[in-house]
Amino acid sequence: MDKKIKPGSKKVDIVWVEDEKWFIRDWKKQYPDLIIYEYYEPESALDDDIDQYPLDTKIFLDSTYYIGPYSNKVYVGEGTDLAKKLHARGFTNLFMIMGDEPSGDLAFGYLKLIHKQDDKKIKEAINS
């Protein structure tokens, strides 16, 4: 029998919510000493007891989520929706890794925007 994990008690370096498994895998290879817990669907991040992580945990989000095989993906949501829900729960260290160039109209005071191709900024976020 599993006991519910106490809120804020599961310490990890990063929680990464990304629908492209290869993208997380590639970053995990570069940082093998970090504890990176991944979710591949936005709702699973919320449903899988996200409250077990401390509120200052770095959470990396995608801007748009699709689920399905390769090019036949089914759209399931915006990363900004997930960011709002996480922020409402008290999470304070939110990053959005975007395939499109970040724009000011997506910027919330609690969400840091980074282009998916900007390895330097992603590394800075990982190491911050």
Question: What is the model's pTM?
Answer: 0.84
Name the E strands within the chain. 14-17, 36-39, 58-62, 64-67, 74-78, 93-98, 111-115
Percent above pLDDT 90 for the chain:
42
Q: How far apart are CA 110 and CA 112, in angstroms?
A: 7
Q: What is the pLDDT of residue 25?
A: 92
Q: What is the pLDDT of residue 1?
A: 33
pLDDT in tens, 56-106: 999 999 988 877 665 456 666 788 888 999 999 999 999 999 877 655 555
Neighbours of 121 (CB within 10 A): 16
pLDDT at 50 over 70: yes
Across the chain, what does the average pLDDT equal? 83
